[in-house]
Amino acid sequence: MHKSCGTYSGYTIHIRDKTEICEPCRKASRIYQKHKRDQKVKSLGYDPRRFSRHNMSREKYEEMLSKYNGSCWVCQTKEAINIDHDHSCCDGAWSCGKCVRGLLCSGCNTALGLMQDDKKILNKAIRYLEG
């Protein structure tokens, strides 16, 4: 039991009671959230609900996943857990399925998004890195 709040990991109690979250509860919550994220990543496989918004069949997903042995199509070092599609084709997070480009790790998927999927910006970034 935490001395400061009298709970074991009462993060939700702090929220319910609208009290300041003590450091032990904050740490316990971080550990719990990391565990949940890790479990989610491990359980990612073919999920009909997840892939229906990209109009992707199990066969198509398995085919794409095997292209780089489950690795990201860009860096080829991390696990590919994100489906990347061309946002100029379909508005929002939903995809027609024809514009799916590949499977990416979170870092590469985020990087492309931050660079607005723009080749000019990506080329400028490459020139910047080259000095």
Asked if 5 contacts 13 with a C-beta cutoff of 8 angstroms, the reply is: yes
What whole-number distance in Å separates Cα of residue 131 and Cα of residue 128?
5
Residue 111 has pLDDT above 80, yes or no: yes
The pLDDT value recorded for residue 8 is 55
pTM, two decimals, is 0.59
**3-class secondary-structure state, position 48:** helix
| Residue 46 burial (CB count, 10 A) | 14
Nearest CA among 36, 34, 56, 31 for reference residue 46: 56
pLDDT digits (tens, 9 = 90+) for 40-61: 655 555 566 667 888 888 788 8
What confidence score (pLDDT) does residue 61 get? 83
Q: Give residue 81's pLDDT.
A: 81
pLDDT at 107: 93
What is the helix (H) or strand (E) element at residue 60, kind and residue range? helix 58-67
Question: In the structure encoding, which two tokens stand for residue 130, read together?
Answer: 């080259």
